[in-house]
Amino acid sequence: MVYRTEIGIIGKILELLSDSGREGVIISSLVCRANISQSELLTKCNPLIKSGLINMLKMKRTRKLWLTSSGREFHQELKRFQETLDKIPIRY
C-alpha cells in the first residue's frame, strides 16, 4: 500500500478546486473526490485559507471552497514542480 504525501494531498485538493472553476465546490464533494476525511481536508485547507490561496464561504450547514487568483498561480507552480519531480525517481 502506498500512502500519499502531504504535498500530494494538497496538490489533489488544489486540482479539484481548480477544476471546479470560480463557483467553487462544497466540502462534502471535495471529501469524496479527494478520498480523505472531512477533518483531514479542513486541516490541510486551513493554512491555504490563511495564506489567501483558498476562500471559504460558510452557508447554513455547508461550506464552499474555491481558489483565489493567487491560489491558481500557486497551483500552476506546484504542477510544474511535480512534473519536475516526476522526472526524478523520488516519491512526493
| Selected residue with higher pLDDT from 92 and 31 | 31
Q: Examine the pLDDT at 1 and tell me if it is beyond 60.
A: no
Domain ranges of the chain: 6-83
- What pLDDT was estimated at residue 47? 96
- 77: confidence class by pLDDT, cuts 50, 70, 90: very high
Instruction: In whole angstroms, give the CA distance from residue 62 to residue 82.
Output: 32
- What pLDDT was estimated at residue 89? 77
Q: The whole model's pTM is what?
A: 0.86
**Does CATH place domain 6-83 in 1.10.1240.10?**
no
Asked if residues 27 and 36 have their Cβ atoms less than 8 Å apart, the reply is: no
Q: Which amino acid is at 55?
A: N
SS3 label, residue 25: strand
Rounded to 5, what percent of the chain is helix, strand, coil? 65, 15, 25
Find how far residue 8's CA is from the centre of its chain.
9
